[in-house]
Each structure stands twice: as structure tokens, then as C-alpha cells.
Amino acid sequence: MPEVVQATNSPIAVTPKKDNEWLLIIKRLLRNKLAFLGLIIIILQIAMALLAPIIATHDPVKQDLSASELPVFSEDHWLGTDNYGRDVWSRIVYGSQISLLVGIVAVVLGLLGGVTLGLLGGYYKKLDGIIMRFVDLLFSFPGILLAMLIIAVLGTSLVNVAIAISIWSIPSCARIVRGSVLSIKEKEYIMAMKSVGASDLRIMIKHILPNCFAPIIVFATMRMATAILSTAALSYLGLGAQPPTPEWGSMISQGQAFMWSSPHLTIVPGIAIMLTVFAFNVLGDGLRDAIDPNMNV
């Protein structure tokens, strides 16, 4: 058709291809020094967890009563040993595996539940009331109490800790997703998809969900911090990792009996928990600012 006028390639409108949105977000994130620090700590920690067998100097559960309660910077044990003579550094290294793993599993499970509920609630007005009341119900329990309740029902183990923490993350995730869905479903491109006959499921998965990724990612990062802290807390209470598993929370709880004679048994895992939680929190904050300065999560 010769009479069709070719659309002109206006130089202003066509942005260079490599400037895609996520790249911009990462650039903005790296400009934020605190978030950058958080990212580095997290990367180091992931490396530590993955390379644990290489980095650890000793077997984390091997007892050596002849070298018990060695202080920090002792020969052969730079972070000392605990009351059974286990190397604290190796236990910290292996403990990071557990913290990260439980954190990731808990967050992923929590996202699955929360995103599903949030999508359904936000999209279908009729389901909204029921789902949000259920969410309110979960909200009404103090988090740690809810987790303890779930563990009391399921039994003590790290898997159950992950499940408990994930259930605890569901309500806030559902609320965040629902909020985004409510605003996105009124957009014209959703109307456009309806007008070409797209099914509700297709609209929800392919068109609404990708557009609420930003708040979900921020939520997931922040939630990692909470999950790791809660795992430690539950293990400290004896509901999570069981001895001799090297878990940071249980290390603190075992070390507190020797708080005066060997303070490093509580301080070292305490610092590990603090650094991790701090890293995830500042990264989450940075991500939120990088994705949209006006967004409120």
C-alpha cells in the first residue's frame, strides 16, 4: 500500500536499546553507597556459603576438648573455639549456609502464597473481602508467636522454621501485591487485553504480575533480613536448628552460659547476624529508592 505513510523515526522518542529499565535501576542502586555496601556484604556471604568447605579451617562439628574456649586470635583458631573446642570461624561459615538457605526458602514460599493471595484479592472484587480478612487474621498474631505456634504443631526442624516464617510473610506480601494490582488493573493496557478477549488468568500472570515486580523485589529483599533474624531467634529459643548444627542463633544460645569467660561465643555470631540483617535492609532500602523514589512499600 503505497499511500500508507511511514511512521517517522523521531530521534527523541527512540531511546538507545541498552538503556533498559533494570540497567538504569542497577546504576542508580550502585550510586547509593550504603546499598552498595549491603550488596557487597551479601555477595561475600553468598560466596562464603557456597565455598564453605574451602574457607572453613576446621570441621564445624568436630569437638576437641583439649582446645576448648580458646579466645579470639588463638593460633590455629583465629576466632577461637567454643566450650567443646569447635572452631567458631568454621561454624560461622557453615552457619551462613543455613541462614541463607532457610531465608531463601522462607521468602520464596512466602512470596508464592502472598503473591497468589494478593493477585486474587486485588483482581477479583468478590474474593477481596474474604482474602483480606484471612490476611488480617494472620496479621493479628505477633509474628514470633505465630511461628512458634506453627512449629509447635509441625515439630522442631529447620524445614518447619522455613515454613513458619513463610506463613508469617504471607500477609504483608499479600497486602503489598494487592495494592499494586488494584492500581495496575485500572490501567488502559489491561482494558486493551480484555478487549482482545484475554482470559483473567492470562491478564493476571502476563500483564499484571510483571508490572508489580518492583515492590515484590523490594519486599523480598527486606523480608530476607527478617527471615534470617527470625531463624536465628527461633533457633536461639531451641525451636529451629538442633545441636550440633552450626546455626548462628543456636550458637548464641549455647554461648551465653560462657558470656563472662568467653564473650566471643556470643559476640561473633551476633555480629554475623547483625551484618547480614543490616546488609539486606540497606539493600532493600536502596532498591526501593532506585526503582522509584516515589514508591512506598
Partner 1 sequence: MNVADDNGRRKTLLEINQLKKYYPIKGGLLQRVQSHVKAVENVSFKLYEGESLGVVGESGCGKSTLGKAILGLEELTAGTVKFKETEIQSLRKKEKLKFVKEMQMIFQDPFASLNPRQKIGPAIAEVFSIHTSMSSKEKKLAVLDLLKEVGLKEEHYDRFPHEFSGGQRQRIGIARAICLNPSFIICDEAVSALDVSVQAQVLKLLKTLQQKYQLSYMFISHDLGVVRYFCDRVLVMYLGNTVEEGKVEDLYNAPLHPYTQALLSAIPRPSIEKKRNRIRLQGDLPNPADPPSGCPFHTRCPIARTQCMEEKPQWREYGEEHYAACHFAGESIFKEAK
Residues of this chain that interact with partner 1 (CB under 8 A) are 1, 3-8, 10, 12-15, 17, 20, 187-189, 191-199, 202, 206-207, 210-211
Tell me how far, at minimum, the Cβ of 32 lies from partner 1, in Å: 24
Query: What is the spatial distance between Cα 214 and Cα 210, in angstroms, rounded to a whole number?
Result: 9
Distance of closest approach, residue 112 Cβ to partner 1, in angstroms: 21
Q: Report the alpha-carbon angle 80-245-91, nearest 5.
A: 25
Minimum gap (Å) between residue 6 Cβ and partner 1: 5
136-168 CB burial, b ≥16 within 10 A, e <16: eebbebebbebbbebbeeeebebebbbbbbbbb
| Shortest distance in whole angstroms from residue 233 CB to partner 1 | 38
CA distances from 9 to 13, 123, 252 (A): 8, 37, 64
Q: What gap in Å lies between CA 282 and CA 164, rounded to an integer?
A: 25
Closer residue to partner 1, CB minimum distance, 7 or 65? 7
Nearer to partner 1, 4 or 54 (CB): 4
Question: At its nearest, how many Å lie between partner 1 and the CB of residue 18?
Answer: 12
Q: How far is the CB of 19 from partner 1 (least distance, A)?
A: 9
Contact at 8 Å (CB) between 24 and 286?
A: no
**Is the Cβ of residue 6 or residue 140 nearer to partner 1 in the bound state?**
6
Partners of 87 in beta bridges: 81
Cell numbers given for 240: 529451629
Pick between residue 199 and residue 261 the one whose CB is nearest to partner 1.
Answer: 199
Smaller CB separation from partner 1, 33 or 206: 206
Nearer to partner 1, 13 or 153 (CB): 13
Asked if 287 and 29 count as a contact pair (C-beta separation under 8 A), the reply is yes
Distance CA 150, CA 134 (A): 16
CA dist., res. 184 & res. 187, Å (int): 5
As a whole number of angstroms, the distance between CA 130 and CA 150 comes to 22
**Nearer Cβ to partner 1 (3/75):** 3
Least distance CB 56 / partner 1 (angstroms): 43
